[in-house]
Structure 1
Amino acid sequence: MHSFTRAGSVVAALALTASVALVGCGSGGNQADFVAGATPTPGSSVGGVSAGPGDSSALPDLEVTPKDGAKNRPVSTEIGAKLPDGGKVTEVILTTADGDEVEGSVRTDGSAWVPSKPLKYGKRYTAKVVGTGADGRAQQGETSFTTMAKPKSTITSGLYLFDDKSYGVAMPVVAEFHPGIPEKDRAAVQKRMFVQTDPPQPGAWHWVSNGTQAYYRAPEYWQPGTTLAVRIALEGIPLSNGRHGNVDRTATAKIGRSFEMKVDNATKQMTVYEAGKVIKTMPVSLGKKSTPSSSGTMVVMEKKAATVFDTMEELGPEDGYVTDIEFAQRITWGGEYIHAAPWSVQHQGQRNVSHGCVNVSTENAKWLFDQSRVGDPITIKGTERKLAAGNGWTAWNLDWAEFVKGSALPVPQGGAEAALAL
C-alpha cells in the first residue's frame, strides 16, 4: 500500500473543474431528462392557452417568492409562489434591471423556477410568474428583489467529471466539498445537484465521508454509450455554518464500452470481461496478510504510465521503499493500485506478497493499461479486509437498497427521475 496526499488530488481536480464551469453547456430552452432529487423542467403554456407572464389577459393575483422588495438574496435564488396543495409554478420571466431576460427552467414538481446560471451579485431582478392551481385556474404575480454582495466565506467544491471525456460504465458522478456539507444542509444542496442521462436512466445521490463527498449512480452500471450531463449548481447557496457555495460546476461526458475486471483471491486470477464476455485471464498477487488488499467493488480513478511509489515517510527507513512503477491504475485513496510488478511474477497466481496492490506482469499490466479507462470497475473478493466506504469511489460497493439510504432526499422506488434544461 502506498502513501497518497489527497489534498493534492483535490486541488488538481478543482483546478481542472474550474475550467469546466466556464465551458459547460448553456441552458437555452431545450428540454432534457434529468435524474436527481427534485429537479426542474422547462416552463410551458398554462392549460394549453397563451396565459403567460407576457399576456395582457387579467389573471388573479399570485403571491410570488422572493417577497417583493427583498434584499440580499443569494445568487442561487429560485423563483416560487404560494399556491394551495396541488398548485404549480408553470411559467416565469425573470429580467435584469436592464431588461435582459434570464434563462431558466421550472422544477418538475412545479415548486419553483431555477435560473440556468447563478444570478449576478448585488443586482436587481424582476420576476413575472404564472402559477396554476389544482383546479387548473391560473394566477399571475410579480416581484422585484436584489441579490447579496459576493460572500467572503465559501466552501471549496470539486467535480470529478470532465467535458468530452469517455469513462467506464462504473464511473460515478463524484462531487466533493471542503469543508464537508453539514448533515442538516445536505437536502438543500442535493436539490441543486442535477444529473442528465441520455438515454434516460434513474439514479440517486449518496453522501459519504462526513459530507465531503456525494456519489451519483444508477441501480446498475451505466448503459454503454450513455451521455452524462451534470450541473452542481451551488454558487451562492447559503449553508448553516455561515458559508456559501463557491461556484457552479458543469460537465458533459460519455460512457464507453463495458469493461470489467474481477479478481478472486482463492484462485489468484483476474478475469477480464468486455460486453459481458471473457476476453482474458491473468495471474495476480494481492496484498500479503499484514497488508491485505481490499475486497469489494472499486473503480479505476486515475492512470499513470510511469510513477514512483515512495513509502519512506509513511513506513520509515526500515520498512519503507522508493520504487519506480509502470502502468499504475489507482483504485483506492489509501494507495491500492493495479500495476506492473516484474519482481513478483514468480508469485503471481500462487501467493500474495504485495503491500495491498494487484500485482501483474509487465506484459499484462501494459495490456490492461491500454484497454482500461477511468471509471472501469474492478471487483476483488476473498481477502482479509473489506473495502471501507469512501476509500476511493465506492459508490458500487453497496447494493441499490443500501445505496439510496445515503440520499438526503426521498428516492422513489427504482430511482429519481426529473427534467431540467442546462
Structure 2
Amino acid sequence: MATAVVLATAALPACSAGGSSAAGTDGKAPAEHGDGGTATVTVSPEGSAAKPGEPVRVAAHGGILTSVAVTDAEGTRLSGSLSESNRTWVSDRNAAPGTSYTVVAATRADDGTPGQSRASLTTRAAERVNKVDWRPGDGTTVGVAQPISLVFDRPVHDKAAVERQLKVTTSNGTEGSWGWMKDWSGKDRADWRPREYWRPGTRVTLDARLNGTDAGADGGWFVRDYRLGFTVGARQIVKVDLDRKRLTVERGGRTVRTFPVSGGTPGPETGSWRGTEVVMAKEGSIRMNSETVGLGDAYDQTVDYAMRLTWSGTYAHAAPWNAAYFGRANKSHGCIGMSDADAKWLYQHTTVGDPFEVKGTETKGRVALNNGLGDWNADWDTWRAKSAL
C-alpha cells in the first residue's frame, strides 16, 4: 500500500498574492494556522525511495485543492485531474522509475483561507529496463498492408498494462486492433493492423505512453515514451499465382504490369509460402547463402533488386540463372524470381508495406503470422482475439 506524506499548508494573508510553507525534513511538519485555520495535504507515493508505476495522488483535508502541479527535474509536468469535490487530484500517468518530482498544491480551507504547500518525491530506479524496436519508421510513406509492429527487448508478462498505453489515431477513424505474438526472434511482439488494408492517404500516429509502465516479472520497466507517425501511399497489390507462374501488379484497382516468374521448387524445404506477405525492406543487391536458412550448400551468390518478404528468407528478386523456368516451372529455393528487367521495374515501383498475395497448389503452406509481417493471414475475429484487452 502506498504511504502518504502529510504537508502543512500555510495560510496566506488576505491581501497576499502568494506564499508557501515547506514541510519539515521528515515530511510531516505541524500545520500552521492563520486566523481561520488551514487545510492539510497528503501526497502519495512519498519519500526518496518511492515506488514507481503508480499515479501520484494528492488529497486535501479540511479544505479543497484549487490547483496541483507535479513537475519532474526537467520541467515536464505530470498531467492529472481533480475530483468533482476538488478534494483529490490524481495524475493521468504513473510515476516513472528513477525520477524526482516536485509537488505544489494550492488549497482553500473550509473557511475560505487560501494556502499553498510543496513536497518532493523520488522514485526508485529500475533494476531492469525494457526497450522497443518498431516498424515502420517515423515520417515514412508505406504501402496499404503495413502494420505497426513493436518488438520488445525483454519479456512482456503484463501485456494488458502495456497495451493500455498504446494509442493509435488515424486521420479517418480506421478500425483496427492490437495482436500479440512471439516474434521470429523469440521476443514478445505487438502489432496493430486495420481490419482491412489501409485507405490511401491515411495519416497514422502511435503514442506509446510507456514511461512508468511495468512489463511484469523479468520484463523490467519502460523509462521513456515512443511516438511515430506515417502516411499510407498508393493502393498497390502484387498478386503472385504460382500455378500460372505469373506476377501481376495492381495499382488503384487496375492492372499495370504482368510478367512471368518462378517460385520455389515443390517440397517441404524449397517450396514457396502462400498467403499475404508484406514487403519488409528493399535491400538492393545482397548475398544469399543457403546455409543461413538451413539448406546446406545449395547456393551462395549475389542477387539484385532484393525485396524481403519473410524472416525465413523469402525474397522477390532478379534470378537470371532461372530464365528458362520463368512462366513455366517453379524451380527456386523458395523465393520469387524474375528477369533483371522485370525485377528492376518492380523494385522501382514497390513501397515497403505493399502486400504480395501469393497462391498456388505447389506451395508448402501458409506463411506464419510472425514470419515477417504476416498479420493478414489471420481473419479479423482471430486477429482481434490476440489483443490483451
Who wins on radius of gyration, i.e. which is larger? 2
Name 2:253's counterpart in structure 1: 276
Check 1:213–1:101 CA distance in 2 against 1; reply closer, same or farther (3 A cut). closer
Structure-1 separation of matches of 2:243 and 2:252: 25
Matches within 5 A, 1:93-108: 93-96=68-71, 102=77, 104=79
Whole-Å Cα distance in 2 between the matches of residues 165 and 260 of structure 1? 19
Give the whole-Å Cα distance in 2 for the aligned partners of 1:283 and 1:365. 11
* 1:257 alignment partner in structure 2: 234
Map of 2:144 onto structure 1: 169
Question: Could you tell me which residue of structure 2 aligns to residue 39 of structure 1?
Answer: none
Shift of 1:147: 4.0
- Residue matched to 2:298: 320
> Shift in Å at residue 305 of structure 1?
1.8
Q: Encode CA deviations 1:153-202: one digit per residue, 9 max, x unaligned.
A: 122321112222111111100000123312xx000010111212112212
Equivalent residue for 1:203?
Answer: 176
Match of 1:304 among 247, 263, 283: 283
Show CA shifts across 1:316-346 (max 9, x none). 76x3321111000001000000101111122
SS in structure 2 of the partner of residue 304 of structure 1:
strand
> Equivalent residue for 2:376?
396
Partner-residue secondary structure (3-state), 1:346: helix
SS at match of 1:345: helix
Structure 1 match to 2:190: 214
Paired residues for 1:17-416 under 5 Å? 66=44, 72-74=50-52, 77-78=54-55, 93-96=68-71, 102=77, 104=79, 114-115=92-93, 121-126=98-103, 146-182=121-157, 185-209=158-182, 212-242=188-218, 243-290=220-267, 291-312=270-291, 314-315=293-294, 319-382=297-360, 383-409=363-389
In 2, Cα distance between equivalents of 1:262 and 1:173: 23
Question: Contact 1:306–1:324 at 8 Å: present in 2 too?
Answer: yes
How far does residue 73 in structure 1 lie from its aligned partner after superposition?
3.5
Instruction: Return the TM-score normalized by structure 1.
Output: 0.68
- Higher-RCO chain (CA-CA 8 Å, sequence separation at least 6): 1
Q: Displacement, 1:205?
A: 0.2
Give the TM-score, by structure 2 length.
0.73
**Amino acid of the structure 2 residue aligned with 1:385:** G
Of residues 214-223 and 157-166 in structure 1, the stretch that sits farther from structure 2 once superposed is: 157-166
Cα distance in 2 for partners of 1:167, 1:112 equals 39
Q: Deviations over 1:71-109 (max 9, x none)?
A: 5243x6545799xxxxxxxx9854227895616478xxx
Write the distance in 2 (CA, Å) between the matches of 1:329 and 1:315.
20
Structure 2 distance, partners of 1:92, 1:376, is: 50
CA, structure 1 residues 99+322, in 2 after alignment: closer, same or farther (shift >3 Å)? closer
Give the superposed CA RMSD. Answer: 3.4
Query: After alignment, is 301-310 or 120-129 more displaced?
Result: 120-129
Contact 1:314-1:320 at 8 Å conserved across structures = no
Higher helix fraction: Structure 1 or Structure 2? Answer: 1
Q: Which residue of 2 aligns with 1:52?
A: none
Note closer, same or farther for the CA distance 1:401–1:121 as it changes in structure 2 (3 Å cut): same
SS in structure 1 at match of 2:231: strand
Distance, in Å, in 1 between the alignment partners of 2:276 and 2:104 is 48
Q: How many residues align?
A: 322
Residue 374 of structure 1 deviates from its aligned partner by 0.7
Q: 1:329, 1:65 → 2: CA distance?
A: 56
1:18 equivalent in structure 2 = none
CA distance 1:314–1:271, shift in 2 (3 Å)? closer
Verify the 8 A CA contact 2:138 2:229 in the aligned structure 1.
yes
Any idea what the Cα deviations from partners look like across 1:348-385, whole Å, max 9, x if unmatched? 11111111111111111111111111111111112231
- Give % identity: 29
Tell me the distance in 2 between the aligned counterparts of 1:275 and 1:105.
46
Amino acid at match of 2:213: I
**Structure 1 runs not aligned, ≥5 long:** 1-60, 83-90, 130-141, 410-422
Counterparts of 1:219 and 1:65 in 2: how far apart (Å)? 44
Runs ≥4 residues deviating over 6 A: 142-145
Are the structure 2 counterparts of residues 268 and 244 from structure 1 closer, same or farther at C-alpha, using a change threshold of 3 Å?
Answer: same
